[in-house]
Every structure is written in C-alpha cells, then in structure tokens.
A = this chain, B = another copy of it.
Amino acid sequence: MDSPLLHTAQSYTPSQESLPPQNVQYRLRLPSGLPAHFTPLNPLTFVLRAALIHPNKLALAHPDVQHPRFYTFAVWCQRIQNLAYALIKYGIQPGDRVAIISPNCPLIADAHWGVLAARAVVTPINFRLTKPEVDYIIEHSGSKLVLVDHEFASLAEGITVPVVISQDTGLPDDPYEKFLAEGRHFSQERGWAGLDMDPNEDANATLCYTSGTTGRPKGVMTSLRGSYLAAIANAFEAKLSFDSVYLWVLPMFHAAGWTYPWSAVFAFSTQVTIRAVRFPDIWKHFIKSGVTHYCGAPTVQIGIVNAPEGRVLERPINAVIAGSSPTSHLIGELEKKNIHVTHVYGLTDTYGPFTRCYSRPEWREWSLEKRAEAMARQGHSFATADELRVVYSDGGDLLRDVPADGKTLGEIVVRGNILMKEYFKSPEETRAALRGGFFHTGDLAVHYPDGTVLISDRSKDLIISGGENASSLAIEQELAKFPDVLEVSVIARAHPKWGERPMAFVILQPHAEARWKGKEAEFEKELKRFAQKGLPGFARPEWVKVVKDLPKTSTGKIQKNVLRKTVAKL
C-alpha cells in the first residue's frame, strides 16, 4: 500500500514509553478450572494476536487533528492494556459499566478494547443526545466512570462518578494520556498476564442505548460471545484483510460500530478515525489513504456521491449500507465512482448487521435497476447468525411463519448468537421483545421462496434522520408538553438531505384555537423553538401541521399509515 497516509505513519516514531516491554507476552491470566479445549470467546483475543503477529503494522490512524497519531498494533495494544489497568486502579470491577461520549478518535477506539480488558462493559453514548438524555443513560446504566472527549465535556458536567476528559492530542499532558500513564504505572509492568481472562463468554460486553419505539431509550446488552461471533461474520462478509483500510464514517457509538472495531483487528486491517463526517475529508482519505472499506447510512452515502471532491477512484471501495434500502440511482452513482455497495439489515439489538442478500453470479449481467431491486432484499443471515423468520404479528407466543409467497406481510423475528442478551434493567420489555423465544424486530416484511425478505415498513414508529433513530413516540411526548398542544402525532417524511425528518400533526387545545387562528406559521415557529430545549437536532420536527382531527382506529389508536399517505401526496 503506497498511500501518503501510510508513509506519514512510517515517519511517526512511537515514544519509548509507549512501547511494550521487550519480553511482552500476549496472554491473559487463565481462569482456573477451564478444560484445555475451551477458551471463552472474547474479541479481546483479536488484538493480542494482531500485536503478536504484526506488531509494527499500522493499526489505528487519527490523521486529521492538530496532533495526528499513528499507532502500530504493538503500541496500540500497550495503550489498551494501560487503559484496562487505569480503570482497575479507579475501582472498576468486572461487570461495571464504563460510559464513553466521543466522536470517532483513539479514545473511543481504545475503549472498545480497554474496557473489555478490565472486564467491564463498553457503554458508548450518542453525543447528539440532549444533556437530560445523557444524564438518564449514565444514571440508568449505573456507569462507574465516564470517558469523554473535550468537545462534549459539557454533556458530562455535574456527573458524580469520575470523568476522564480527552483533549484528543495524544500529548503527555492530555488528561486522557495521563490516565493511561497512571494505568501503566499501576500495572507495574505485570503485562497482560496481570489481567484476568473472563471465564464466562456470556458475560456482558457492550451496552448501547437505542431510542427504540417507546419513550425512554433502552439499553441493549450484548455478550462477549456474541461480539466475537458477530465481528468474525462482519470481517468475512466485508472481506476485510491485512490489506484493508477501514475508514470510520459510521459513528463508533452506534451499536458499538457494528462490531467493526473488532472485525478490522480480527483481519489485521488498518482503521482510520475522523472526528466528523465531512465530505471533503472523506474524499481526501478515499483518494490518498488507500481506504478500502467504510460503513454508513444511505443519507451519508448521498452526501458522499454529491460532494464536489468526488471522482472515479482508482481502487474500488466496499461500502456497507444499512438502514433503508439505497435507491438504484444512489447505487449507480456510487458505482460510477468505483464504490461498491453491500446492503445489510440489522438493529442495535443484533449487533448491527444480521442479514444481507447474497448476490448471485447472474446479477453481473443485470441492469442497474434490477440489481438495485434485488439488493433491496434481505433475509440471508450472516454465517454466525441464525435464520430469520417472518411471522404473523398477532402478538402471541406461538409464532407462525407467513407463507413465503412474496405477498403476506409479517414481522421479522430472529434469534441466535448475534442477538442481544436483554434490555438492561427492563425485564418487562425484554420479555415482550423475546416472546416465543425470538426477538421481535417490529419490522414488517414479506418472505420470498428463495429465503429473501423485503422489508415493507421499517418499524413504523421510527424516524431515521441523518442516520439517527428518532423515536416518534419520544418526540410526541416532548411536543405534548407544549401548553397549547392537545394531541400530537409524529411520522417520518422523506427529506432530500437527511433521508427522513419528523413531521408533526397537532390538534390544538380548545382554549388556544382562537389565539393561533390564521397564524399557523407562527405556531409552527413557537413549537419548533420549544422543541429545541428538549429534543436533539435530528429529532426536532421539520414540519408542523395543525389539524382538526387525527385519523384513528375504532380503539382510538392513531392511524399513522393514513397520515403517511396524506404526506406522500403533498
């Protein structure tokens, strides 16, 4: 690979203190009593192996900052070890949650390993949430320590547990670097053998909060075993290898980066972190840094193809897209630039990607239109996932498959090793989601005879705005707090830039009707201003419509499908 990024990396000499000792051994302390033929599955083993086999290979690059960093596997692995010891020094016990509020940068990349190495639970928090939401998650997760990037330090203000702030400089006086140095000192160079291998592969690994469909965010708890198996599947599906360079476009806090923090290391690939999704930067790396892979929602892909910096790439790039299906137009535009799309389907609850539609040799001769249509299908489970089913959504425990006729609508349900363990501290919601022994995705689909499915309606309450899941219910709850609102219903409406944006239908309080009569535009402005306080940017309504009535079922449930049809006609 002859990219300037890697040349820069080669001229980057790690400091003596950042290196592992000469006689480093990449072995954790074995729990006693394990049979010789059993090792608990744990993604942590990937980085130990990478550091042993390719110590001098570039593992992690963070180039676009004032103090760029380039860590080899050996140096990175030592940093990870330091982080683990630092956490232990600060009292972190096995099973404790450690929160991370950070853009893509070494802090959060380190945390995906170091927190596991301390046998704690990686708890990344979406930095686009509001302060009260972040407070709720830290409180609900019971996080014992927070690692926070300086840009989002205000989100960690007033928190009672220890907070470590990273200035993202990598310099010795950076508080985060000091924290790592403390860890190394505390380790007394006991090395990896001073850290315990978790004897239980079902132990908690990550806790990612998802807005879900109902009010409060839910904490998706995953296991070490699931993380290990999902990461291997992602490496295999994306064909990651020693020669791959993975660019972090997807926020790493999203479902633990779809397990790619571990997949990339499993395959000895190089990772490149950038703090923000800026299209000129992305194109710079596409062109100059030998990028071979990235993941992102369709809305990000739209930005990428439309950026003026775009051009036809010499080397092909593999883009993994999740979320709503990319249009044939988008797929075609990406292909023109030598970017090739793999469309996957999954949820935070399934470690990210769970299924795809495998291309068949005959596709190569198909028109773009036809390929795009085929690509929109889903349902072929990843190698380490179980087969998915489409069942009648009658809410019962007895799951009956809909016929694979391409017509009958049912709900997608899944189970198996790459399904989350539970919603943390939410036994009721867990039970409901897992009724009949399968996880109910809330996504409706038809099943075809070839095992593929076509998702007709992504869970009807969810709005995917700029790649973020916004719960319409949560938005409704917030807007309903506005004194003049009697009733409100929020749906997703297509948006050229963000994919979808929330649209709110509002019935006014009787006492307020007179006041706003003929001044709907002013009301809209007022309500939007109100929303700024309680809702993150992506969840604020883009459009507000005052109505007399809302369409309802006989039992009083608002028929959002009717609202959607109205909007479609606008």
Chain A residues proximal to chain B, CB less than 8 Å = 1, 22-23, 25-27, 30, 34-39, 41, 45-46, 48-49, 52-55, 202, 223, 226, 232, 235-236, 239, 241-242, 266, 268, 358, 360-361, 380-381, 383, 386-387, 401, 404, 415-417, 419-421, 434, 437-439, 449-451
Residue of B nearest to A35 (CB): B421
Task: Determine if A380 and B36 form an interchain contact, defined as CB atoms under 8 angstroms apart.
Answer: no
Task: Determine if A39 and B417 form an interchain contact, defined as CB atoms under 8 angstroms apart.
Answer: yes
Residue of B nearest to A229 (CB): B41
- Chain B nearest Cβ from A129, distance in angstroms: 26
**Bound: A401/B490 CA distance, A:** 65
Residues of chain B lying within 8 A (CB to CB) of residue A35:
421
Task: Determine if A36 and B434 form an interchain contact, defined as CB atoms under 8 angstroms apart.
Answer: yes
Residues of chain B lying within 8 A (CB to CB) of residue A451:
26, 52-53
User: What 6 A-B pairs come out closest when comparing CB atoms?
Assistant: A39-B416, A52-B451, A37-B419, A36-B415, A53-B380, A36-B434
- Chain B nearest Cβ from A96, distance in angstroms: 21
Residues of chain B lying within 8 A (CB to CB) of residue A235:
236
Contact of A49 among B36, B41, B383 (CB under 8 A): B383
Task: Determine which residue in A37, A55, A401 has the highest number of CB atoms from chain B within 10 A of its CB, and name it.
Answer: A37
**Bound: A136/B289 CA distance, A:** 61
Task: Determine if A37 and B266 form an interchain contact, defined as CB atoms under 8 angstroms apart.
Answer: no
Task: Determine if A26 and B383 form an interchain contact, defined as CB atoms under 8 angstroms apart.
Answer: no
**Bound: A361/B242 CA distance, A:** 9
- Chain B nearest Cβ from A135, distance in angstroms: 29
Given that A37-B415, A37-B421, A232-B232 are known contacts, is A46 also in contact with B437, CB under 8 Å in the complex? no
Q: Is the interface of A mostly helix, strand, loop or mixed?
A: loop
- Chain B nearest Cβ from A435, distance in angstroms: 10
- Chain B nearest Cβ from A271, distance in angstroms: 17
Task: Determine which residue in A22, A38, A268, A449 has the highest number of CB atoms from chain B within 10 A of its CB, and name it.
Answer: A38
Given that A53-B358, A54-B360, A358-B53 are known contacts, is A39 also in contact with B387, CB under 8 Å in the complex? no
Residues of chain B lying within 8 A (CB to CB) of residue A23:
404
Residue of B nearest to A415 (CB): B36
Contact of A37 among B49, B232, B416 (CB under 8 A): B416
Residues of chain B lying within 8 A (CB to CB) of residue A54:
358, 360
Residue of B nearest to A23 (CB): B404
Task: Determine if B53 and A417 form an interchain contact, defined as CB atoms under 8 angstroms apart.
Answer: no
- Chain B nearest Cβ from A148, distance in angstroms: 30
Residue of B nearest to A22 (CB): B449
- Chain B nearest Cβ from A504, distance in angstroms: 35
Residues of chain B lying within 8 A (CB to CB) of residue A381:
49
Task: Determine if B438 and A36 form an interchain contact, defined as CB atoms under 8 angstroms apart.
Answer: yes
Contact of A386 among B39, B386, B404, B421 (CB under 8 A): B39
Task: Determine if A383 and B226 form an interchain contact, defined as CB atoms under 8 angstroms apart.
Answer: no
**Bound: A204/B449 CA distance, A:** 34
Contact of A226 among B30, B37, B266, B415 (CB under 8 A): B37
Given that A37-B416, A39-B417, A223-B37 are known contacts, is A52 also in contact with B387, CB under 8 Å in the complex? yes
Contact of A387 among B49, B223, B450 (CB under 8 A): B49
- Chain B nearest Cβ from A75, distance in angstroms: 16
Residues of chain B lying within 8 A (CB to CB) of residue A25:
401
Residue of B nearest to A382 (CB): B49
Task: Determine which residue in A23, A242, A387, A404 has the highest number of CB atoms from chain B within 10 A of its CB, and name it.
Answer: A387
Residues of chain B lying within 8 A (CB to CB) of residue A49:
380-381, 383, 387
Residues of chain B lying within 8 A (CB to CB) of residue A45:
386
